[in-house]
Structures are given as C-alpha cells and as structure tokens.
Structure 1
Amino acid sequence: MNRLSSGSEASSQSALLSVRQMAEADRLSVAAGVSSFELMGNAGAAVAHEIEARWAPRPLLVLCGPGNNGGDGFVTARLLAEAGWPVRIALLGSRFSLQDEARRHAQRWNGEVEALSPSVLHGAELIVDALFGAGLSRPLEGQALDTLAAAGRGCVPIVAIDTPSGVMGDTGAALGAVAAVLTVTFFRKKPGHLLLPGRDLCGEVVVADIGTPESVLDALTPLAFENDPALWLAELPRAQADTNKHSRGHALIFGGYPMAGAARMAARAAARAGAGLTTIAVPDRALPVYAATLNSIMVHPWVTPEDFGHLLDGSRFSAWLVGPGAGVNKDTFGHVLAMLATGRPTVIDADALTVFQDDPESLDRAIRGPCVLTPHEGEFRRIFDPAGDKLTRTRAAALRCAAVVVLKGSDTVIAAPDGRAIINTNAPSSLSTAGSGDVLGGIILGLLAQGVPAFTAAAAGVWLHGAAAVEFGPGLLAEDLPDLLPAVFRRLYRPVEARHARNGIE
C-alpha cells in the first residue's frame, strides 16, 4: 500500500506514534534546535488555548504530576491565571522534586501549590488532569487514584493533557482512568487515543502543534495509522469511458444453506462496491431459494465437491469470499482450501474461520495469495493467540498467517503481515446488528475483485462500512448497508472531481 509510506502527506497526517516514538520525536526536535523548555511551554499554551476556546473563566483546578505532564500543567495554570482565570494547583509530590523543564516552569508559578488529595476538588468547576499522561505504565494508586476517582464521580468536566491519566498510550487500556470531555495531545495521536476503552475516556481529542518539526516523522517511520480516505482513495478504481463489466472484476461467493441471507447480503455489497459481476455458488438444493430473491446477482448451482472445484478453475473469477452462512462442517473446510489453492484474492469470514479452530496451522499453510481474514473477537480467539492488546495481537496474527487480518469491533484494527496497521474509528454502534459483518466481507470482496491490494481493500472496506452505517442512522439493518454505499462513494469522489475540474483534468 504505497500511500502508507512515511513520506506521503496523507499518511503523515494520519500517522499514530507510540509512547516511545513520541519521546524520540521530542529528542529529535531538540536536536533540530527546539528546546525542551520551549516544547513544554508550547504544550501548556496549547491546552490553555483549547480551554479558553470552550469555557468562560471559572474556578479551575490543575492536578499536576511529578513529571513532564505536570510541567505542562504548570504552564497551563500560569497562562490561564494571567488571563484572569481563578486557578489553583494541586501537586502529587514535592514542588522541589520536579526535574529539568518541569521544575523551571513550576518556578514561574507564583501561586500556592496544594498537596494532591480528594479534598482539593471542592469548589472547582473545571479540572485539568496533568498527572501522568500516556507515559504511565502501571495502574494508578494512592492519592492520584483517589483524587481522580472522586473527580470522576462528580459532574465537573475534566480536560486531560496527552491522555487521561491511567489510559495507556500504546494500547488504550484503562488502569484507574476516568473520563475526560477533552484531551489535548501533541504532534500526533497515539494508538491509545483510538483503541477502546481509551477512546471513550479521551472525549474530544485535539492534536496541537507545539513546534515539533514535521521532518521528525520521517525518522520515526510510523507503521500505525488512523483510517482515513486520504490513505487509500487514490488506489480505488474509477470507472472510465472504456470500462466494462469484465474489466471491473468478477466476484464469487460461496453461498451456504439453509442460512442463505448472509451470502446474499455479501453479494449485494460486493456489487455495490464496484464488482462488475457477482456470482453466488450454491448447493443444488438451495438454487430456488437464492434464484427467487436475486436479480443482478448470478447464482451457480453445484452438486458435488468436484463441481465446486471445476467452478474455481480457469480465469473466470477474480476474487472469492467464503464464510457467511457457510456452516461449520467439512464441506466449508474443503471449500476454503480449494479457494486458497488458486492463489487468487480471498476473503475468509465467519464459519470459514471457525472450521479451523482445531487446526489453525492448516489455514496458515494454505494461504498462498492475497488474503483477508475478518474475525470478530470470538472467532479470533478460536484460531489466534488472544493474549495482549488489540493492536499487538492483530499484528501478530497477520504475521503468523501471512494475510491481512481485520479484527472487527468499534475500534476495528486492520493489520498487514509487514507490521503496518490501521485503526478505524468511524463505526457507529448501530453496526452491532446481525449480518453487518457479512456485508463488510462483501465490500472487501468487491474491491479485491477490481484489483485493489488486500491491505487497501480491507482498510477502505472497513471505512466505507462505517460511513454507510452513519449515513442511515438509528434503526439500521444489515441489509440496508449495501444500498447506502453509492451515496458514500459520491461524497468521497466529489472533492477529487472538483479538483480535477479546476485543473482542467477530465
């Protein structure tokens, strides 16, 4: 996926940095001539600016920790106090134990510094959490835990600097964190801003410019990104004057029986995603069920496994999908192996994943071409190691099976075998309905059938799936999703078409 090279503008803006990479970004910034004192001053100023943009002056309490996050808090407090806000500071530890830039900025605070405890919350109408940020690697404890817990039980809004204290920047895990209404972070987001439960605890996330040179990103070579059309839109095929149905690819779906609805929804999604032709291969006894409910989708019956094998021979089909409604049985097992043996792009979902729960290595061995696996959490646990955070284990799964793995959820992670990963954030809760995963598989299939690379097809498919659900709103049924895709595509392509028109490009 060339658009995800670290030098492209699109990937630059969507890049996610680990806690370690962000520390390295600060070090490289200093090497480039931006002092640590200046970076901290700019960070605190950015937080103060975002607060002033949202609230009128009111009693403000800044909870400061013993490290750099606390130093940011001292800057925020000083600037808001100078702007006329009534500001108090409560510090975890001693003011004299602060180090380096944090100590220098703390020395510029002329007010009282109270000891951190739940009692300091009294009278505060806005709280700034500048205790730890993303760098904390252990659960909150002691006065920090007690004070934040008390703040969380109140109705006073909290603004977090970097991340809410207790949210792990690399994983989104919450170890004592409470919810903020606003989180101000710097230079780039971290995975913990997007992965649950961290994403929900962060509230609105603002990425502030604190003077870190953009050139720093090239040295960091990020491999994680937030899903955004800018990453992959240029790689999606567009119909041209000489385009015909055959040049847009032919998608084949294995249709199960008696669970026929899943494959039908997947097929409609593949067609709406742009496949020129879409066929469902079904057991002979299921032909009347499928044929009676499909128009533009073709149905091909088969009687014996050999019939199915013959169907896969030759170059008629450009990509396969197996799993939705397939059934957990030896036939499905055989169909997956037959599809993978062709080396053509394949999407494996649902039952076609579960059939390998007793022998997952056989699935790994069978993959020899572009392949996308789309498990939900339950299916993932059946065939992959469930240990670790969502980003790490999805990457490990992709590496193990040499395929793109889409671990579905509100914070879907898409990982490639080479370590690249994308975290998706546009999926509404209305997608938690039966059949929505089948539609996602169909969208990815439709893109693969048109020649889109597997990682690109997976990332684009997941985003389109979420955008279609947002388009519909409450009351969504999975069968609504395919017919919502045209409106999503129109909005995606409109800025490109306008830009081409301005440039005189047809």
Structure 2
Amino acid sequence: MASSRHGVRVGASVARARRIGKEDVIAAAKIEPGVPPSCAVLTPEEMGRADRAAIEGGIPGFALMRNAGRAVARAILARFRPCRVAVLCGPGNNGGDGFVVAAELAARGWPVRLALLGEPAALTGDAAEAAALWDGPVLPLSPAVLEGAGLVVDAIFGAGLARPVTGAAAETLSAWAGLPIVAIDLPSGVSGLTGQVLGVAPRAALTVTFFRLKPGHLLLPGRLHCGETLVAEIGIPASVLDTIRPTAARNGPDLWRDVLPRRRETDSKYARGHLTIIGGTAMTGAARLAAASARRVGAGLVTIAAGDAASAATYRAAEPGVIVSEAPVSSLLEDERRRTWLVGPGLGRGARTSEALAALLASGRSVIVDADGLSVCEGRPDALRGAALLTPHAGEFARVFGPVGDDKPDAARRAAAATGAVVLLKGADTVIAAPDGRVAIDAAAPPDLATAGTGDVLAGAASGLIAQGMEAFPAACAAAWAMGEAARRVGAGLIAEDLPPLLPRALAAL
C-alpha cells in the first residue's frame, strides 16, 4: 500500500514536472496515487474487491459474515438494554449479516422478530449459510414487523445500493420514525458511493460498517443518517489494500502530518515563504482575514497588494506585521522571492481581478484562486489552468464547472483533472481533489463555521502552508482540518476573526 510519503512524492513529481514541461506532467501523472491505509475510504466496488481478496487469501466468506454479524451484536449489547428487536433482512449479504445478529441476540435472551425481503429459498451462498443459524420464524418484510419493537436492526441493503428503494422495503423504511435503529454497513437507502438518499432512508442511532469507511458515511446527506458510526474489523487483512490502492481518504493528520512545515534554527522570514495577496478596494476585510491566517500558520512574509491609495490606507491601519504595497502586480512579480499568490478574496468581478489572475497564471508562480477569482472565470475552466489550488464553494464551482451534482468527489476530481489544480470544494462535507485522482473528504467541520469570512481564513491558511513549501493537496487538507479544530475550540458564537489565532494551536496539538 502507498504510504503518505508515496502520496507526497506523487504530488511533488507533478509539481516539478509542471515547471518543466507538458510532457513531463503527463509522465508524472501516470504514477499511481495512493493514500495511507489508516485513513483509506473504500467505494462499494473497492470494498467488494477487499472481500474477494480476503476470501482468495484463505478466509472463508461465511467467516467474514459471521464476524460482521457478531460485531454488530456486540455493539448493540454495549449500547442498548435488552428489548424486543425487529431484525429486517435483505436478500443479499447484508441480510446474511442480519441473520447472524438475530441469532446472537436471541442466544442472549433478547426477544427477536426477523423479517426478510423476498423468500428464504432464494437466499444463496454465505447468506443462506447464515440464515441456517436462525431457528425462528422468517416473516415477510412489512411495516407490521415493527409493531411492539423497541429496537430495529436494518440489514436490508448495504453500501452497494445503486437504485431507489421501492415496494415493501420503502414502505417499511418510511414506517421507522421514532424507533432507535442500528444500521448494518449503511442505513438502507443511502448510497455508499455518494451519500445520496435513494428514495427513502431512515436515520440510524448507530451504524456499524466493516474494515473501512465508505464515502456515504462521510458525505451529506448520508452522514446525517448514520448516527454514531463504528468501523469493525472482521478479519480482512490490511494487506489487501496493496492491490486495491484506494485513492480516497478521510481527511486527518495521517494524511499530511509528515509534510507539515518544520521550524529550523537557521530559518529566516524569507526561508519561510512570502505570500502576496491581491487586496480588494471595497471589501478589505477578506484579504485581511486571509493575511492573518497565512501568518498564523507560519508564512514568513505576507504582502497585500492594494488596488488604490484609499484601500492601502485601510490595510496599513490594520495589522502592523502585514506589508502593504500599491505597486502594480507586474512590478511585484519582478521579485522572484514572491513565489506564492492568493487572488480572489474581496476583489470583485471586474477587470482588475481578471487581469491579475491572467498575469499570475502566466508567471509560473504558485497561485491560489478563491472567491471572485473563480467567479470571473464563469464557464471558462480553461482560464484556471496553471493554478495550484482552487477553493470554491458550491455556487462558485457551479459558475465555472457546472452543478456539483449528486457525486461530490467525482465532480471535484473532474474539475481537478480539467484544470491541473487541486480543488478544495468547500461545504459541510468538504472534498479536496488532486489532479492525480486522490481525494480527501473532510467531515469534521462544525456548523459554527457557517459564517462570513471563514472561507477567506481557509484560503489564507492553505496559501500560507503552500508558501512554506507544502504541496497544494496536503496543504489544502491540513488547512481544512485545522479550521475545524480551531472552530471547535470556539464553539457557538464563532466569527471569522476568532480563527487565525487558534490555527497554530490546532496544528501544534499534533
């Protein structure tokens, strides 16, 4: 399995190739990307391959199913008092897990009622073997099965569901309101690939999945249907990831901790990087927030390029450690030490933004594009080629690339491939995608971040890390994670100005 260092080598190779020439970019991009095993997220298709690899390696499929059902039963016993349980099974392996759960709970004296979607005679393979463990009646799946139940175990469909739920399953799913639900793998009706609700899905109190998380556990709205999510090991060896080589990960320190900028005794402010931010003339707060966060994550120098004398005076009256310049972008670009630029926050959609963006992208510098820098490229994704990082919210993304659609990781990946830039698609389920196919899902941001200016702080933090030498993908992941950690330290009442001073504490806690 590719280590985190392997993933960084891929990004570094692509970045070096971009500075050399197009042919080298193509050659470098052919290096197969990977993510650390500890934070890998598997699509339903990849999870199927993991199951098959384990079985081919000598672990019986029924043993995996039995281990899965027992893991769910243990989770129930640890969290709920004995009560009447309705176990609802589907016709596939998810239903087989449900039969194991029913047998385990009944053996411990819990009153269990089991219902099946379809006929017992239609069960095959491991699911049929699991059904043989259950010696009670098998009822047809219907809302009537829920009568008198104090707990429901949802084993109808798993993560691989790809079509809307209909018929008896939909009727029963719709009747679960008010009952505590334990979902096996994913709440039935939630797509494991996209997190979308396919027709109808219950909201579980607990979801028990196996081996690794799936995208549907992290993406909205699926994440809201999962409740507490527990990942259980069922005997699949981690070595199967060596052949699967997943490219999706849950964002967290394992993904980028090893490449965070390190302080050295010989450092100077120039060695720690110089970020230049194109400052707006009206909404000056945006550039100031970005500058504050860039400095807090360690950038050695931060310059705001003001658009006129009046805005320059406003910038100079603020944080004294920020350099303010009224020189044109063309003059500032003559300084080769200005390797990293942020364009967009508070700029507006006028000619100044378009001209600055075009000049910066043509310069070969590391360019981070946010807010209005994206909006001026409406319908023209090619205008962003050459950027290092794009940080759109859903509305800005739609202006440039079209609607996000139901599959957020796929949309971000396509945008990254189209522009050659890392794409940080902001939201309550932020997705960061690299041109080489890697994607990270950040599902830990608290809702307190939904306030004006936090996007500027995020863009500044990512820019500050890139200025210090981080590749754009790990820098974007680290900035998004640190924002969530900082926000949790504030809680209710958070405003954007609270965040920059807390960013270094969040990162130092690692």
One fold, TM greater than 0.5?
A: yes
Look up the match of 2:259: 235
What is the aligned residue count?
482
Q: Distance in 2 between matches of 1:104 and 1:287?
A: 75
Contact preservation (8 Å) 1:4, 1:231:
no
Matches within 5 A, 1:84-483: 84-151=109-176, 153=177, 155-175=178-198, 176-285=200-309, 286-302=311-327, 307-364=328-385, 367=386, 371-386=388-403, 387-483=405-501
Instruction: Please give the per-residue CA displacement for 1:9-61, whole angstroms capped at 9, x wherever unaligned.
Output: 98101001111111111111111000111111111001001111111211111
Instruction: Please give the per-residue CA displacement for 1:373-430, whole angstroms capped at 9, x wherever unaligned.
Output: 0000000001113245101110000000000001100100000001100000111101
Task: Pick closer, same or farther for the CA change 1:103–1:419 going to 2, 3 Å.
Answer: same
Q: Distance in 1 between matches of 2:380 and 2:129?
A: 60
Task: State the shift of 1:361 in Å.
Answer: 2.3
SS state at 2:506 partner: helix
Instruction: Please give the per-residue CA displacement for 1:193-239, whole angstroms capped at 9, x wherever unaligned.
Output: 10100111111111111111111111100000000111101101121
Select between 287-296 and 353-362 the one with higher mean Cα deviation: 353-362
Contact preservation (8 Å) 2:381, 2:418:
no
2:184 partner letter: I
Q: Distance in 1 between matches of 2:384 and 2:431?
A: 21
2:272 partner letter: R
Task: State the shift of 1:486 in Å.
Answer: 2.4
Where does structure 1 differ by over 4 angstroms across 4 or more consecutive aligned residues? 4-10
Look up the match of 1:73: 98
Q: Distance in 1 between matches of 2:104 and 2:5?
A: 39
TM-score (norm 1): 0.93
Task: Pick closer, same or farther for the CA change 1:11–1:383 going to 2, 3 Å.
Answer: same
SS state at 1:253 partner: strand
Contact preservation (8 Å) 1:58, 1:126:
yes
Q: Distance in 2 between matches of 1:325 and 1:140?
A: 45
Q: Distance in 2 between matches of 1:342 and 1:298?
A: 22
SS state at 1:133 partner: coil
CA RMSD of superposed structures (Å): 1.6
Contact preservation (8 Å) 1:385, 1:397:
no
SS state at 1:38 partner: helix
Q: Distance in 1 between matches of 2:148 and 2:315?
A: 66
Q: Distance in 1 between matches of 2:412 and 2:406?
A: 9
Q: Distance in 2 between matches of 1:108 and 1:360?
A: 57
Instruction: Please give the per-residue CA displacement for 1:173-200, whole angstroms capped at 9, x wherever unaligned.
Output: 1111111111111111111110100111
Select between 467-476 and 337-346 the one with higher mean Cα deviation: 337-346
**Identical residues among aligned pairs (%):** 51
Task: State the shift of 1:83 in Å.
Answer: 1.3
Task: State the shift of 1:360 in Å.
Answer: 3.0
Q: Distance in 2 between matches of 1:298 and 1:284?
A: 15
1:396 partner letter: R
Task: Pick closer, same or farther for the CA change 1:4–1:84 going to 2, 3 Å.
Answer: farther
Q: Distance in 2 between matches of 1:55 and 1:143?
A: 27
Say whether 1:31 aligns with 2:49: no
Task: State the shift of 1:93 in Å.
Answer: 1.1
Contact preservation (8 Å) 1:385, 1:393:
no
2:491 partner letter: G
Look up the match of 2:14: none
Look up the match of 2:19: none
TM-score (norm 2): 0.92
2:164 partner letter: P
Task: State the shift of 1:462 in Å.
Answer: 0.8
